Copies of this chain bind each other. A is one copy, B any other.
Amino acid sequence: MEARALKWWGWGWDDRSLPVESRPVLWRYLQERLKVDPTIHRKVVPIGSIRIPPSLLSPAELDELRRTVDEENLSLADPDRILHAAGRGYKDLVRLRDGRIERAPDVVLYPEDDDAVKRILEIATRRRYAVVPFGGGTGVVGGVEPPASEEVAAVLTVDLRRMRKVREVDVESGLASVDAGIRGPVLEEALNAHGLTFGHVPQSWEFSTVGGWIATRSAGGLSNRYGKIEDLVVGVRLVAPNGTLDLRPLPGEAHGPDLKQLVLGSEGILGIITRATIRVHPIPQARTFAARLFRTFADGIAALRAMAVDACLPDMAYLSDEEETRFAAASAGIGPDGSAGGATGLGLKILGGRGYSLGEGSLLLMAFEGSRGRVAHRSERALGLARPAASLGAAPAERWFQERFEMPYLRDSLLDHGILIDTVETAAPWSRLLGVYEAGRKALQDALWATGDAGLILCHISHVYHDGASLYFTFLGRQKAGDEIGQWETIKAAVTRAFVDAGGALSHHHGIGADHAPYLKRVIGEDGLVVLRALKRELDPAGIMNPGKLLA
Known: A245-B525, A311-B370, A527-B244. A469 touches B251 (CB 8 A): yes
A531 pairs with B520, CB closer than 8 A: no
User: Do B311 and A251 touch (CB < 8 A)?
Assistant: no
**Would you list which residues of chain A between 198 and 217 have a CB under 8 Å from chain B?**
216-217
A144 → chain B closest CB, angstroms = 16
Bound CA span A27–B240, Å: 57
Given contacts A431-B170, A467-B279, A534-B535, contact A253 B505 (CB under 8 A): yes
CA distance A341 to B380 in the complex (A): 46
Residues of chain B contacted by A116 (CB below 8 angstroms): none
Given A255-B265, A470-B252, A508-B252, A175 and B279 contact (CB-CB distance below 8 Å): no
Q: Does A88 contact B (CB under 8 A)?
A: no
Q: A431–B253 Cα gap in the complex (Å)?
A: 16
Q: A309-B282, A531-B245 are in contact. Are A508 and B427 (CB under 8 A)?
A: no
Contact of A465 among B252, B305, B470, B523 (CB under 8 A): B252
How far apart are A19's CB and chain B's nearest CB, in angstroms?
Answer: 32
Interface flags for A466-480 (1: CB within 8 Å of B; 0: not) read 111110000000000
Chain A interface residue bracket vs B = 35 or more
Return A233 CB to nearest CB of chain B, in Å.
11
Q: How many copies does the complex hold?
A: 2
Within 8 A of B (CB), among A248-273: 248-259, 261-267
The answer to whether the Cβ of A87 comes within 8 Å of any Cβ in the partner chain is no
By Cβ-Cβ distance, the 9 closest A-B pairs, closest first, are A261-B261, A173-B429, A534-B538, A243-B527, A217-B254, A251-B468, A253-B505, A251-B465, A377-B377
* Interface bits A148-170 vs B (CB < 8 Å: 1, else 0): 00000000000000000000001
State whether B266 touches A467 (Cβ < 8 A). Answer: no
Q: What separation, in Å, do the CA atoms of A253 and B507 have in the docked complex?
A: 6
Of A30-38, A94-102, A355-363, A509-517, the one contacting chain B is A509-517
Pick from B172, B256, B527: contact of A266, CB below 8 A.
Answer: B256
Q: Does A339 contact B (CB under 8 A)?
A: no
